[in-house]
Amino acid sequence: MTESWLAELRARYGDIERRLEQAVAQAEREAVKREIIAYFKEVDGALSDLTGLKENIRTLVERYKQLSGTADGAQAPQFTGARPAVHADHLGASTYIEKGWSLISLGDHTGAIQALNKALSLAPDDTQARSLLGWAQMLNEDYDDALATFSKVLTKEPANSLARINVGYICLKKGIFGESIEHLSKAIRLANDRKATLYAHFYLGLVYLEREMYQDAQSFLSKTLELGPNLVEAYFELGRAQWFAGEREAARETWADGFKANKFNPWGKRCQEMVELVDSGGEIPRSSSS
């Protein structure tokens, strides 16, 4: 829908409104009535066409998500879940929640934050909107804002394991390791969400890797691969934990397995890079982002 077309429709509305007010004779009113009906049908048809196009765009979003995967190599929890249902509410908050979800899926985190803040201004107690806002802030690396947002979610829903592992991830990124361990361990004890349990083990592995507690790191990263063999970044990090623990042949085998698990995944490619680096006598970087 172009701005000129929308302006034309609005101009027609104004013209019909004026004619309706000025119509005196029955014939004039009937003529305006017929024009109102035709005008309504035209707008309604356009809305139907645009709604269909919007659903097609959602299909593109899903295809993009499937093809991109973890193309940026980020270790943040993968954003998944069913699209929020838009329902009729007198405030209109659900429309902004659905818009926020779509924008996060597309990677427009700034736009998602704006939409979800609008949703919360209309419905301040909506936990779904607040959880999605936390996701958008976290993926936008607004860690302090995300931490505050997820803390509010956990105050209302202490057993929300996904919110808890996100807090654990944020604390890991901020170097607050003790608090990260506390939240991630609690998510494992809750055991009420498979994805949360998977990532809780993964991030605990990263925490202990950062603290150079390599045996503990190996334990959690090995468990991660038991729970989720497709989380290829766990192969990469497990290899690092083994390497720095002096288990260099085991590390090489782990990286080789990671590449075999998914040759097209960015983390799989990084595993292969580690194998090549080891074989050439290179030095393994201390940081996974190196």
From first to last of its 290 residues, what are the pLDDT tens digits of the chain?
A: 566 778 888 888 888 888 888 877 888 888 888 888 888 888 888 877 777 776 677 667 656 655 554 444 456 776 665 566 555 454 678 889 988 988 888 889 999 999 999 999 999 999 999 999 999 999 999 999 999 999 999 999 999 999 999 999 999 999 999 999 999 999 999 999 999 999 999 999 999 999 999 999 999 999 999 999 999 999 999 999 999 999 999 999 999 999 999 999 999 999 999 999 999 998 888 777 65
User: Whose CA is closest to 83, among 111, 107, 104?
Assistant: 104
Spatial distance between the Cα atoms of 76 and 169, rounded to a whole number of angstroms = 7
Q: How far lies 25's CA from each of 5, 14, 30, 135, in Å? A: 32, 20, 9, 60
pTM score, whole prediction: 0.74
Q: Please give the structure tokens belonging to residue 110.
A: 């700034």
Spatial distance between the Cα atoms of 8 and 41, rounded to a whole number of angstroms = 15
pLDDT at 153: 96
- CB 256 within 8 Å of CB 239: no
Domains of the chain: residue spans and CATH: 141-225 (1.25.40.10), 229-290 (no CATH)
pLDDT at 86: 52
- DSSP letter string over the chain? --HHHHHHHHHHHHHHHHHHHH--SHHHHHHHHHHHHHHHHHHHHHHHHHHHHHHHHHHHHHHHHHHHTTTT---SPP---PPPPP---TT-HHHHHHHHHHHHHHT-HHHHHHHHHHHHHH-TT-HHHHHHHHHHHHHTT-HHHHHHHHHHHHHH-TT-HHHHHHHHHHHHHTT-HHHHHHHHHHHHHH---HHHHHHHHHHHHHHHHHTT-HHHHHHHHHHHHHH-TT-THHHHHHHHHHHHTT-HHHHHHHHHHHHHH-TTSHHHHHHHHHHHHHHTTPPPPSSTT-
Spatial distance between the Cα atoms of 111 and 115, rounded to a whole number of angstroms = 6
Spatial distance between the Cα atoms of 17 and 246, rounded to a whole number of angstroms = 81
Amino acid present at 75: Q
Spatial distance between the Cα atoms of 281 and 288, rounded to a whole number of angstroms = 18
